[in-house]
Amino acid sequence: MGTGEQLVTVAAVLLGALTTHVTNYFMERSRNRHALLTRWDDRKLEAYEGYIDMIRSSIYLAVQLYETREGLRESDEEQSEAEIRVAMAEAGRLRGRAFERIMLLGGDSVVEVAHELNVMTLEVDWQANGKITGSLEEWRERNRVLFRQINVFHDAARDDLGVRGSVTGDLHPERDLLLPPGRSGGAGS
């Protein structure tokens, strides 16, 4: 074998090694990028789940307080009004922390929907605490709007996470509040 042939063979081996190295580099980089995206998606899902959990806890406590204040619930059933107010303050604090995680991890549309959800949740809290006034029907309408906004949040979060489908639209008709029967035994008042 001549020197020229040996140089071609060495060049081919070097080119093969270089090609293998570059291919491995790009594949590893792609794998790392995918792992990083997956890790952030997991964090986002945890943040979205935690935020909605805190919203729902706040709603539950607001309903408890409102019904106690308005005489719709027996005050000795569960907690006193003062205990509910303390629990609501703590739930509000935790909701704020959960919202900060949304601000750090959420996509633009999720953050905007979360801002609206915060406003609506505060309105429900304020009426439950008596900071704003309103009738029972206004209370229920605030809750209806709040639950619709939770569904909008779900859709924005699903879109941000790349989950197909939605929780609203033609396949998912809007549902109303589940209300207990009235005290007289009729439909919800």
**Looking at the domain assignment, is residue 43 inside a domain?**
yes
Handedness of CA 46, 52, 55, 56 (dihedral sign): negative
* Residue closest to 148 by CA, chosen among 113, 184, 183: 113
Domain count across the chain: 1
**Looking at the domain assignment, is residue 166 inside a domain?**
no
**Looking at the domain assignment, is residue 169 inside a domain?**
no
- The string of pLDDT tens digits covering residues 119-128 is 999 999 999 9
- The string of pLDDT tens digits covering residues 126-184 is 999 999 999 999 999 999 999 999 999 999 999 999 988 877 766 566 677 766 665 54
**Looking at the domain assignment, is residue 54 inside a domain?**
yes
**Looking at the domain assignment, is residue 186 inside a domain?**
no
Say if residue 75's pLDDT is above 80.
no
**Looking at the domain assignment, is residue 91 inside a domain?**
yes
pTM for this prediction: 0.72
| Percent of the chain's residues with pLDDT above 70 | 84
Which stretches of 130-172 are DSSP H helices?
136-161
Q: Which residue has the higher pLDDT, 78 or 61?
A: 61
